[in-house]
Amino acid sequence: MPVARPEPQEPRVIAHLDLDCFYVQVEQRRNPALRGQPTAVVQYNDWKGGGLIAVSYEARKFGVKRSMRGDEAKHVCPGINLVQVPVSRDKADLNVYRSAGSEVVAILSTKGKCERASIDEVYLDLTDAAKEMLSESPPESSEFIFEEATKSNILDLTSDASDREENVKAWLCRADADYQDKLLACGAIIVAQLRVKVLEETQFTCSAGIAHNKMLAKLVSGMHKPAQQTVVPSSSVQDFLASLPVKKMKQLGGKLGSSLQDDLGVETVGDLLGFTEEKLQEYYGVNTGTWLWKTARGISGEEVEDRLLPKSHGCGKTFPGPKALKTNTAVKSWLDKLCEELSERIQSDLNCNKRVAQTLTLHARASKENECNSVKKFPSKSCPLRYGTGKIQEDAMKLFESGLHDFWGYRNTGWSITSLSVTASKIFDIPSGTNSILRYIKGPSSGASSTIVDPSSTPDLTPFVGNVTQTDIAHVHEEQCQPSSSIKEDCDNSSLAKQCGATEEKGVSKKLSKAQESGSILKFLSQSQSAFHEKRNFDGLICSNQGHESSSGASEAGQHGKTNINTAGDHSAGNTWMLNVEDIDPDVVGELPLEIQREIQGWIRPSKHASTKKRGSTISSYFSPSRR
Ligand code: DCP
Ligand code: CA
Ligand code: CA
């Protein structure tokens, strides 16, 4: 259930950016002949031409939709280009898309606090950058306004007027605007500049929403697509929400939204204004009631998190129709593949970003024999995550068996599994400068597995059962494309990737400079469309900014702790490191060598002796950046 957070006193400028038909753009960059063409990316599958997962705007004009199969898309748009998602281990391999997303994050994060929200979405807090622009070069006293910014959609302004750009320019430069809207105007200019930069450096277009909070920014970022941005002035919030169907809000898409409609007759967010806060609390409890009351007024205190890396890693696959899995052996074979990929990804996250995942969760969808039309709920199951492919595979299978038992009892047949996924979550940062822990949490390939204390335990399923919400699996679908993205896995190749980037960009730099001069994305797209038809071999080039990501990942350590523990006993900023101790799962600690376990246990439940340990001989001395 959503909870209202206290809203900051100071006005903020928040942007939400979402890449347009993302996977298609990635494929178009690999094969420029696809630019401007009706194109869709399909999941590898021999059933009715595979499932579409991304559709270009040219194909959308023909009525092609993501829900279609390849054969259906060809029927409505015979000229469509269908590109297969790369495949590895018999399932979609999304690394190329994750990497491409990371390139964009690296650019966007230069302007303010940046939260990677999904494989192709980012929130930015641009308050400081906007304030700086307002004090140093306010739009009202600038002769030149960045052209792309004048193409913004401003909710207050009519969008079809012939002098629209002039009107937008006048809005951006209003001397009589209130402080909040002046900041928003600066935010709109900054976002326009960032979007042009993203296009120049990655060849990707994106759309954006700019508002005073995350909720409003997200609501409007997809309003004008592709390659456009939308601004929500304070004065237009009420009108905008008045007509917004409740189901369009992310948190109201499910049961809560249905209850609002059925029980209170609320159809639009604006309809909520007819209820007092007390009344809403009476129906939905104190927290959700207050959240609804505030939402109706466009108030949201949710902060942009400082996080360039994903919150979790997920791997999954669906088994539609005749492909459903009906035996333990078939399930095990697939779980092994999924766990192998998951293990690689968390290992890479550990190596590149010094992040440790603590919880392994298994989600599945299942149906029962003779009830083919009803997809029953297979309970999600979690346990402490043990590093090493074999252990993850073993635990995942136990989680499956436990879930199957709840779902189906002890019988061996009569069920079929239509989707499986494994997720590694509750990830915490190991502070930068730490090396020791990496020696202990290694996969079997490192040859270090013998140093891991084998807890010789089967995972204790009980405390974790059912603690994962269904929203976590919202994106699991055929061959799983859970846009809980990850960084480029191969973090050792950053210099190689940069070389790739240089080579790749050379060919388009002339065309891109046009965009820079004009500052307009649409102009660039229409003028230089043909440039992308030049035959260049982009295949196999994965260009990313991994270097940036891995270093920022490491330096991120401790920046977003809730309860922070400073093991070195030094609270001065800069030299201290902090850890979300309450987030550390004690069972995961069981994986570590005994002396380290004892010390970590000391942080979790501080013992009398913990502070008497000699500095330099304990894990905290490794964790301390200065190793003093
Ligand atoms: N994706 C997926 N399966 C889904 C949803 C999305 O595999 N059910 C992948 C493919 C998309 C990418 O994630 O390209 C981003 O998803 P979006 O919902 O942002 O959709 P697009 O970027 O494709 O289109 P839009 O321009 O509407 O944002
Ligand atoms: Ca998108
Ligand atoms: Ca998206």
Task: Provide the pLDDT confidence category of residue 369 given band limits of 50, 70 and 90.
Answer: confident
Does the Cβ of 53 fall within 6 Å of ligand 1? Answer: yes
What is the average pLDDT across 36-52? Answer: 87
Task: Provide the pLDDT confidence category of residue 177 given band limits of 50, 70 and 90.
Answer: very high
What is the average pLDDT across 129-155? Answer: 95
CA distances from 429 to 426, 492, 563, 584, 622 (A): 10, 19, 14, 10, 14
Does the Cβ of 335 fall within 6 Å of ligand 1? Answer: no
Which of 158-172, 284-298, 407-421 ranks highest by mean pLDDT? 284-298
Task: Provide the pLDDT confidence category of residue 91 given band limits of 50, 70 and 90.
Answer: confident
Task: Provide the pLDDT confidence category of residue 316 given band limits of 50, 70 and 90.
Answer: very high
Q: Is the pLDDT of residue 104 over 60?
A: yes
Classify residue 353 as exposed, middle or buried by CB count within 10 Å of its CB (0-12, 13-18, 19+).
Answer: buried
CA of 198 to the centre of ligand 2 (A): 14
Name the residue ranges covered by the structural domains of the chain: 1-20+89-308, 21-88, 313-429, 437-471+519-604
Q: Is the pLDDT of residue 471 over 70?
A: no
3-state secondary structure labels for all residues of 94-138: CHHHHHHHHHHHHHHCCCCEEEEEECCEEEEECHHHHHHHHHHCC
What is the average pLDDT across 454-481? Answer: 32
What is the average pLDDT across 20-24? Answer: 98
- pLDDT tens digits for 568-596? 223 333 222 334 445 455 555 555 545 44
Per-residue pLDDT at 8: 73
Per-residue pLDDT at 163: 86
CA of 40 to the centre of ligand 2 (A): 13
Does the Cβ of 117 fall within 6 Å of ligand 1? Answer: no
Per-residue pLDDT at 380: 95
Per-residue pLDDT at 429: 86
The share of the chain scoring above pLDDT 90, in percent, equals 55
Q: Is the pLDDT of residue 538 over 60?
A: no
Render 227-280 in DSSP notation, one character per residue.
S-EEE--GGGHHHHHHT-BGGGSGGGSSHHHHHHHHHH---BGGGGGGS-HHHH
Task: Provide the pLDDT confidence category of residue 535 given band limits of 50, 70 and 90.
Answer: very low
Count of Cβ atoms closer than 10 Å to residue 380 Cβ: 22
User: Which of 21, 44, 204, 475 maximizes ligand 1 atoms within 8 Å of its Cβ, making it the mutation to test the pocket?
Assistant: 21
Per-residue pLDDT at 574: 29
| Topology at the third CATH level for domain 313-429 | Dna Ligase; domain 1 (3.30.1490)
Q: Which run of H or of E encompasses 602?
A: helix 594-604
The protein residue whose alpha carbon is closest to atom 24 in ligand 1 is 21
| Known catalytic residue at 121 | yes
Render 145-159 in DSSP notation, one character per residue.
--GGGGG-EETTS-S
Per-residue pLDDT at 473: 30
**Range with the lowest mean pLDDT among 199-208, 410-419, 618-627?**
618-627
**Range with the lowest mean pLDDT among 48-52, 126-130, 179-183, 534-538?**
534-538
Q: Which residue has the higher pLDDT, 564 or 314?
A: 314
Of the listed ligands, the closest to the CA of 485 is 1
Q: Which residue has the higher pLDDT, 592 or 74?
A: 74
* Tokens, residue 386: 């043990």
Q: Which residue has the higher pLDDT, 376 or 517?
A: 376
Q: What is the pTM of this model?
A: 0.70
Q: Is the pLDDT of residue 502 over 50?
A: no
Torsion of CA 214, 146, 524, 164, to 10 degrees: 80
Q: Is the pLDDT of residue 301 over 70?
A: yes
Task: Provide the pLDDT confidence category of residue 143 given band limits of 50, 70 and 90.
Answer: confident
- Angle CA 259–117–423, to nearest 5: 85
Per-residue pLDDT at 590: 56
What is the average pLDDT across 324-347? Answer: 95
What is the average pLDDT across 366-374? Answer: 70
Per-residue pLDDT at 413: 76
What is the average pLDDT across 499-526? Answer: 43
Does the Cβ of 479 fall within 6 Å of ligand 1? Answer: no
- pLDDT tens digits for 258-277? 999 999 999 999 999 999 99
Per-residue pLDDT at 588: 58
Q: Which run of H or of E encompasses 220?
A: helix 214-221
Task: Provide the pLDDT confidence category of residue 541 given band limits of 50, 70 and 90.
Answer: very low
Does the Cβ of 481 fall within 6 Å of ligand 1? Answer: yes
Q: Which residue has the higher pLDDT, 351 or 370?
A: 351
Q: How far apart are CA 252 and CA 426, in angstroms?
A: 25
**Range with the lowest mean pLDDT among 145-159, 305-319, 490-504?**
490-504
- pLDDT tens digits for 111-127? 999 999 999 999 999 99
CA of 23 to the centre of ligand 1 (A): 7
Which of 58, 103, 115, 121 is catalytic? The answer is: 121
**Range with the lowest mean pLDDT among 158-167, 213-222, 280-289?**
158-167
Per-residue pLDDT at 438: 54
Per-residue pLDDT at 484: 33
Does the Cβ of 387 fall within 6 Å of ligand 1? Answer: no
Render 357-412 in DSSP notation, one character per residue.
EEEEEEEEEEEETT-TT-EEEPPPEEEE--SSHHHHHHHHHHHHHHHHHHHHTT-S
Q: Is the pLDDT of residue 229 over 50?
A: yes
What is the average pLDDT across 58-67? Answer: 96
* Tokens, residue 591: 């994986």
What is the average pLDDT across 557-565? Answer: 27
Q: Is the peptide bond before 226 cis (omega within 30 degrees of 0)?
A: yes
Mean pLDDT score of the chain: 75
| Topology at the third CATH level for domain 1-20+89-308 | Alpha-Beta Plaits (3.30.70)
Per-residue pLDDT at 186: 98
Per-residue pLDDT at 212: 96
Q: For residue 293, how many C-alpha atoms fall within 13 Å in the half-sphere facing its CB?
A: 18
Looking at the DSSP assignment, which residues form a beta bridge with residue 122?
A: 17, 116
Does the Cβ of 275 fall within 6 Å of ligand 1? Answer: no
Task: Provide the pLDDT confidence category of residue 492 given band limits of 50, 70 and 90.
Answer: very low
Per-residue pLDDT at 226: 96
| Topology at the third CATH level for domain 21-88 | MutS, DNA mismatch repair protein, domain I (3.40.1170)
Q: Is the pLDDT of residue 557 over 50?
A: no
Per-residue pLDDT at 518: 54
The protein residue whose alpha carbon is closest to atom 7 in ligand 1 is 481
Per-residue pLDDT at 598: 53
Of the listed ligands, the closest to the CA of 227 is 1
